[in-house]
Amino acid sequence: MAVNQHSSISARIAPLLYFSNNWISRVGVFLVTLAGVLWLFLLPSYLGGHASNAYVGIALFLILPVVFFAGLGLIPLGILLRRRRGLPLADDLPPLSWNSPHLRRLAVFVVLATGANLVIGSNLTYRAVEHMDSVQFCGATCHVVMKPEFTAYQNSPHSRVECVKCHIGPGASWFVQSKLSGAHQLIAVALNNYERPVPTPVSNLRPARETCEGCHWPDKYGSDRLRVITHFSDSGEETKSVLLMRIGGGGVRGKGIHTAHAGQGVKIRYAHADKGRQTIPWVEYTRDGKSVEYLASKANKEDVARMEVREMDCIDCHNRPSHTFETAERAIDNAIAGGGIDRTLPMVRKVALDAIKRPFDTTEQAEREIPAAVEAFYKKDHPQRGADAAKAGRTALDVWSRNVFPEMRVKWGTYPNNIGHQDYPGCFRCHDDDHKSAEGKTVGQDCNACHQMLAMEEKDPKILTDLAGGK
């Protein structure tokens, strides 16, 4: 009786033994089983959302599948190697006949195991691919490398748009392309020889019109838009500029920024002298098949012919839609306007700016010295303002931490913003009244073509009181 039971159990697990009668296959069976059991335990994570932590994410979604598939590969490898050495598949192979219960059991086992492996394997693969597309993986895995972009992204209007929505297109070819360059980047990170700061512009970014227009419909982005920009003087007095931006529709004819560059039948090509596309000596404007070439007065055609030519799209103006690094002055102005820095502290704008514009070798050094510098300034002459000074110091540090990353050599102004013309060349790279066509026409600098100036650094702009109903 006892003997019989024993033999029936061993008959049941016999299929496993056939597959693992060599040590390589045995390791394989062990890995597959381990990964399978772990998968079963962690099933809620695999069916549900994302891991809360970047390293848990890597373990769950990337390492476990590797273990699983490695195990799955080792089993046949072991059998193959055993065959190569001329040994039989198993020491006591059952007779090859359907009447043999051994063979039937073996067949059932193979079918069930293959089914289970397909389910587990496809779920693991799907999750791994999905995880590599998540904001978490892109932004937080190599957290030192991506910290500047990830931080700026979290403070941008696109902080709920996944990285891949802008950086990678759908479909197999984009997938392969991105994973290839991703593997290349991973090696650079592992060898610690990646570029600091991460170079911009991104040479293989997906065509902007495809990505951006997935959410911003060109015929829609049309109406004029009121921009109110708040500034402070060094001593904390507030002024406001009010601009009516001539956005212009993308599809309709008429005036405006978008109509001029991205309207129907418009194509603009330009040559740039530097990699960062900040110096643009040649522009070609095509509308309805008619082209005009503009050349900067100091440029000559031979030099331009050797330069890289690019077709203008959304990114040439909106190059920082998501990684919007601020200038120190604007960031401090916003902090004062928001109340994080108390405007009644004497000379607080200048004190905060001096504190954050000094160079720091490490983040830790800045964390120590920025709040200390602000507090020290008020300690002697305004000891009663200690709490306000401490808060201003902390806010100044926050401003710095969003924009400067010594570990990645990202300083103030490392990544210029092409919208506007006050902080960086921006629109004036072309609109400088210096790019001339053969007929002597220029790419113009008429202030009102781009925006109507409703108020210019005024204390109480009348236009805003009027809009508020005179109050």
Enumerate residues 184-213 that contact ligand HEC by CB under 6 A: 198, 200-202, 205, 208-209, 211-213
Q: How far is the CB of 350 from ligand HEC (least distance, A)?
A: 18
Q: How far is the CB of 126 from ligand HEC (least distance, A)?
A: 21
Going edge to edge, which strands form the sheet with 308-311?
A: 308-311, 266-272, 282-287, 290-296, 435-436
Nearer to ligand HEC, 102 or 318 (CB): 318
The two structure tokens encoding residue 36:
């399978």
Contact mark string toward ligand HEC, 444..463, x via CB under 6 A? xxxx-xxx----x-------
Q: How far is the CB of 187 from ligand HEC (least distance, A)?
A: 16
Question: Please, which residues bridge with residue 266 across strands?
Answer: 287
Using the Cα atoms of residue 332, residue 334, residue 335 and residue 339 in order, give the sign of their dihedral: positive
Q: How far is the CB of 397 from ligand HEC (least distance, A)?
A: 22
Q: How far is the CB of 349 from ligand HEC (least distance, A)?
A: 15
Which member of 54, 245, 390, 463 binds ligand HEC (CB under 6 A)?
Answer: 245
Which member of 56, 70, 189, 229 binds ligand HEC (CB under 6 A)?
Answer: 229
Instruction: Give me the half-sphere count of Cα atoms (radius 13 Å) on the Cβ side of residue 148.
Output: 25
Say which amino acid occupies 71. G
Stretch in the footprint of ligand HEC (CB under 6 A) among 69-77, 100-108, 157-165, 178-186: 157-165
Which member of 157, 171, 289, 470 binds ligand HEC (CB under 6 A)?
Answer: 157
Nearer to ligand HEC, 277 or 391 (CB): 277
Q: Is 158 in the site for ligand HEC (CB under 6 A)?
A: yes
**How far, in Å, CA of 398 to CA of 374, rounded?**
13
Which member of 74, 79, 312, 389 binds ligand HEC (CB under 6 A)?
Answer: 312
Nearer to ligand HEC, 18 or 270 (CB): 270
Based on the number of CB atoms within 10 Å of its own CB, is 36 exposed (0-12), middle (13-18) or buried (19 or more)? buried
Q: Is 404 in the site for ligand HEC (CB under 6 A)?
A: no
**DSSP state at residue 293:** E
Q: Is 232 in the site for ligand HEC (CB under 6 A)?
A: no
- Tell me the three-class secondary structure of 411-448, residue by residue: CCCCCCCCCCCCCCCHHHHCCCCCEECCCCCECCCCHH
**How far, in Å, CA of 277 to CA of 284, rounded?**
15
Q: Is 323 in the site for ligand HEC (CB under 6 A)?
A: yes
**How far, in Å, CA of 317 to CA of 425, rounded?**
11
Which member of 64, 120, 280, 366 binds ligand HEC (CB under 6 A)?
Answer: 280
Which member of 285, 378, 405, 424 binds ligand HEC (CB under 6 A)?
Answer: 285
**How many residues are given for the chain?**
471
Contacting ligand HEC within 31-90 (CB under 6 A): none
Which member of 15, 78, 218, 263 binds ligand HEC (CB under 6 A)?
Answer: 218
Q: Is 252 in the site for ligand HEC (CB under 6 A)?
A: no
Question: Please, which residues bridge with residue 453 across strands?
Answer: 243
Q: How far is CA 297 from the centre of its chain?
A: 38
Q: Is 464 in the site for ligand HEC (CB under 6 A)?
A: no
Q: Is 161 in the site for ligand HEC (CB under 6 A)?
A: yes
Using the Cα atoms of residue 152, residue 158, residue 163 and residue 167 in order, give the sign of their dihedral: negative
Shortest CA distance to 125 belongs to which of 72, 182, 187, 188? 72
The two structure tokens encoding residue 208:
């902007």
Tokens 């001029």 -> residue: 260
Which member of 75, 79, 120, 135 binds ligand HEC (CB under 6 A)?
Answer: 135
Nearer to ligand HEC, 24 or 58 (CB): 58
Max CA pair span of the chain: 107
Collect all residues with Cβ–Cβ distance below 8 Å to 116 and sequence separation of at least 6.
Answer: 36
Q: Is 228 in the site for ligand HEC (CB under 6 A)?
A: no
Q: Is 431 in the site for ligand HEC (CB under 6 A)?
A: yes
Q: Is 105 in the site for ligand HEC (CB under 6 A)?
A: no
